[in-house]
């Protein structure tokens, strides 16, 4: 009874410093580095480049952190922002361990007390000797007194005699960072501002456009980005949505220092399977692989189509991005970056942000590859100060939808074509007939002869629209084109040059006025076996 009565006031006395510290609200250890996410560059393939930053007090040049991010191989970097300081050692493991054996650390109470004071308010495990027995105790180190270290545990408070401690292990802080000053380990300063940069999976963005027709020449184009965050919390961070995906050669592998983290931590960095199936497998949207054709090639655009009538407002290109700045970096001319300066989006959340709104010019073009249907396209001219990334777009005229199609990657000053519908107000017809035949014009051998046949074709058009239309016609022919009216351009497929397999095309780009009819003629030669 006497020993118990002495233990009660002793324990109360030991708890006084811990209670006073909690009352002051100082329950965070200054030697723990808690970097905050400052900026994130988000790519459309499910990867994000995170940059964190935070100040920490160093203990003998060391600081600890509570997480190793699931960084992809070759992308994790930890560095100091302060001049004259350098991060020279980064370690990862179960937690820092100190052995008071005279080798790792001095075997005296002053050293034990100094090390313990550096771990206050952290979870630790202490190995100590008492009555010739080795004991273990773990919990939050809430106080370090002259003789006892106080651990707070779920089952109560535990006092460990400092003189008996043989081993100290820090729990739950697997990352250790050492900062050297002026290249010397023993001249480290007491404070440092450290940064961490790494690439990881689990965050993506999906572009979506809307196109609203204003008049016969102008439309309003709006780009919105949906950010899907399954990676980590972003609180008041600078989020950059990147148009274009850099080459990451080892994005399928984790950084070696991150290997060994719990499966739960790694799994949380990957978006749900349903999301991956819908977004990341859409190669066109993820990589800008499909680009609007900027040349007057067959099946592509026509150089004259993008010329607009004189006059008419084209919007203010300098205001195209609204409140979202567009960045251009050295050596990064293949990328366009939309930056939101202050965005909060926690893990598991989604956010839609408007990236730009601009008034653009547009024109009409009709494309026909007989015997297929004649299709109506809008030609969108990019007069804004930024490239357009690949993304789906819905077009609206008044209160009626015109259609939904994919806007392909379009550089500044370029143009893309947006398919609207099958044209019904431009009548079209194509016919062919044989006009000449040279019997046995070529002999392959004594018993096999080929005739040279000349065919003539006609393409008829009539415009029932109330406005002129530009029609691009590409007529494929099973032979070598020889002539075409109305400045038609002929071409031959260089991969099909055998006499009986020659293949070519005739292409026109013409204007047809309201109510006007056009008849286009062409000729081509082909070899056929003699009957």
pLDDT in tens, the chain (531 residues): 333 333 334 343 444 444 444 434 446 788 889 999 999 999 888 889 899 999 999 988 888 888 778 888 777 888 888 888 888 888 777 778 889 999 988 999 999 998 898 888 888 899 999 888 999 999 989 999 999 999 998 888 989 999 999 999 888 788 888 888 875 655 546 889 998 888 888 999 999 999 999 998 999 999 999 999 999 999 999 999 987 666 555 555 555 544 433 322 322 333 344 433 433 333 445 556 667 777 654 444 443 333 333 333 333 323 333 344 444 443 334 567 888 999 999 999 999 999 989 999 999 999 999 999 999 999 999 998 888 888 899 999 988 888 899 999 898 899 999 999 888 899 999 999 999 999 999 998 888 899 999 999 999 999 999 999 999 999 999 999 999 999 999 999 999 989 999 999 999 999 999 999 999 999 999 999 997
Residues 6+ apart with CB under 8 A from 296: 302, 303, 509
pLDDT score at 183: 59
Residues 6+ apart with CB under 8 A from 140: 121, 122, 123, 124, 151, 152, 153
In this structure, which long-range contacts are made by residues 16-21, counting pairs with CB atoms below 8 Å and at least 24 apart in sequence? Answer: 17/143, 17/145, 18/142, 18/143, 18/150, 18/152, 21/120, 21/121, 21/142, 21/143
Cα dihedral 221, 222, 226, 232, rounded to 10, equals 120
| Cβ(520)–Cβ(458) below 8 Å | yes
So where are the chain's domains?
A: 2-39+51-199, 201-360+377-409, 426-529
Task: Tell how strand 62-65 and strand 32-33 pair up.
Answer: parallel
| Cβ(345)–Cβ(239) below 8 Å | yes
For the chain, the maximum distance between any two Cα atoms, rounded to a whole number of angstroms, is 129
Task: Tell how strand 123-130 and strand 47-57 pair up.
Answer: unpaired
Architecture of the structural domain at 2-39+51-199: Roll (2.30)
């Amino acid at each position: 009874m006497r020993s118990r009565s002495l233990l009660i006031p002793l324990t109360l006395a030991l708890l006084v410093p811990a209670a006073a510290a909690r009352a002051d609200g100082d329950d965070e250890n200054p030697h723990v580095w808690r970097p905050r996410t400052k900026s994130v560059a988000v790519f459309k393939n499910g990867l994000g480049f995170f940059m964190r930053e935070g100040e920490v007090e160093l203990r003998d040049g060391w600081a600890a952190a509570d997480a190793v991010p699931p960084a992809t191989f070759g992308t994790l970097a930890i560095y100091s922002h302060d001049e004259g300081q350098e991060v020279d050692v980064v370690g990862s493991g179960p937690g820092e361990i100190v052995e008071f054996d005279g080798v790792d650390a001095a075997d005296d109470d002053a050293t034990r007390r100094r090390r313990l004071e550096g771990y206050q308010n952290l979870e630790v495990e202490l190995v100590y000797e008492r009555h010739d027995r080795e004991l273990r105790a773990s919990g939050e180190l809430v106080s370090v007194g002259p003789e006892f270290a106080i651990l707070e545990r779920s089952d109560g408070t535990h006092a460990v005699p400092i003189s008996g401690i043989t081993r100290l292990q820090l729990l739950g802080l697997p990352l250790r960072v050492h900062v050297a000053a002026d290249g010397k380990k023993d001249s480290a300063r007491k404070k440092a501002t450290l940064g961490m940069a790494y690439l990881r999976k689990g965050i993506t963005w999906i572009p979506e456009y809307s196109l609203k027709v204003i008049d016969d020449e102008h439309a309003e184009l709006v780009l919105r980005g949906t950010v899907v965050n399954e990676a980590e919390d972003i609180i008041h961070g600078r989020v950059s949505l990147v148009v274009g995906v850099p080459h990451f050669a080892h994005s399928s592998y984790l950084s070696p220092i991150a290997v060994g983290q719990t499966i739960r931590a790694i799994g949380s960095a990957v978006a749900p399977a349903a999301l991956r199936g819908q977004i990341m497998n859409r190669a066109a949207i993820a990589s800008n692989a499909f680009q609007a054709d900027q040349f007057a090639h067959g099946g592509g655009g026509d150089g004259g189509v993008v010329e607009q009538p004189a006059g008419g407002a084209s919007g203010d290109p300098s205001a195209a991005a609204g409140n979202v700045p567009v960045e251009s970096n050295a050596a990064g001319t293949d990328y366009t970056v939309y930056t939101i300066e202050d965005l909060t989006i926690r893990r598991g959340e989604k956010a839609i942000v408007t990236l730009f709104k601009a008034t653009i010019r547009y024109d009409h073009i009709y494309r026909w590859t007989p015997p297929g249907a004649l299709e109506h396209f809008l030609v969108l001219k990019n007069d804004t100060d930024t490239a357009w990334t690949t993304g789906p777009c819905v077009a609206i005229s008044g209160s009626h939808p015109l259609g939904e199609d994919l806007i392909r990657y379009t550089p500044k000053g370029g143009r893309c074509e947006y398919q609207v519908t099958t044209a019904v107000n431009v009548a079209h017809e194509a016919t062919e007939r044989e006009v000449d035949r040279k019997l046995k014009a070529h002999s392959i051998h004594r018993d096999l002869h080929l005739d040279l046949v000349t065919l003539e074709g006609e393409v008829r058009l009539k415009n029932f629209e109330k406005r002129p239309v530009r029609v691009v016609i590409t007529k494929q022919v099973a032979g070598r084109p020889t002539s075409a009216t109305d400045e038609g351009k002929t071409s031959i497929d260089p991969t099909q040059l055998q006499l009986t397999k020659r293949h070519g095309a005739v292409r026109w780009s013409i204007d047809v006025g309201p109510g006007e009819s056009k008849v286009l003629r062409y000729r081509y030669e082909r070899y056929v076996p003699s009957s």
